[in-house]
Amino acid sequence: MFNRLARPPAAAAIAAPLPLVLRDSLLTGFAAEALVVPPKPAALGMLLRGEANDAAAQQIAATLFVVVGRDHEAALLHDCALATRRKARALAPLVGAPLDTVDAAGLLHRAGEACALRALAHAEAGTQVRLDAPSRAELCAQHQGQFTEQLIRDWELPPPVAEVLRTWRQFRATVSLAAAVVYYAHLLASHELHPEFFAPGLLRSVGAELGIDPIHLAAIA
């Protein structure tokens, strides 16, 4: 589960069992919310007004999705965030979803995971131990909710955006059309970025569920 980084041999044995030390250190890192939820960027206001300002979106993405020590994983989240925002903006008018909500929520939909990843990187730097990929994914998924809530509070996100960030993965249990748009925008973005993981027919399936002609989806895919 854990892969230790190369380092000089320790002069003395670790007093406590290594898994316990790691667990306590990682929990400390995940509790350090002030270190992992960045300050609210000035560009957020433009995004919340639904303005098609790609430079503002890039600035916000650069604030959230840069994680020293976990650069590769953070870059994947960064690219997914920007692509999902773009798809969500294109989908919104086709189904009548509020553009300002899906604009912000599309960009921020995985911000909790990015903050969890930053917390993990902080903990790893303190322990000189690095989680393997499955353990990292499991831990970040487990804790992304708490950082999503912290981001909602610290950035004072409006209730419609906050609702989408909380529910886009389970949007069918809600009445939020914006959450459905972000969910399907995420699928389309993931398909664009990583087509090797998807079976043929995604556009047809998404079109059927949203009541959109797949031809229109192909135009934004």
pLDDT in tens, 84-134: 999 999 999 999 999 999 999 999 999 999 999 988 888 887 777 788 888
State residue 3 phi and psi, 5-degree precision.
Answer: -115, 115
- pTM passes above 0.85: no
Q: How far apart are CA 117 and CA 124, in angstroms?
A: 10
126-164 residue pLDDT tens: 777 788 888 888 888 888 998 999 999 999 999 999 999
Given a contact cutoff of 8 angstroms between Cβ atoms, the answer to whether 112 and 151 are in contact is: yes
Q: Measured between alpha carbons, how far is residue 103 from residues 16, 17, 49, 151, 187 in Å?
A: 48, 47, 9, 17, 16
Domain 16-220 has CATH 1.10.3210.10: yes
Q: How far apart are CA 93 and CA 145, in angstroms?
A: 29
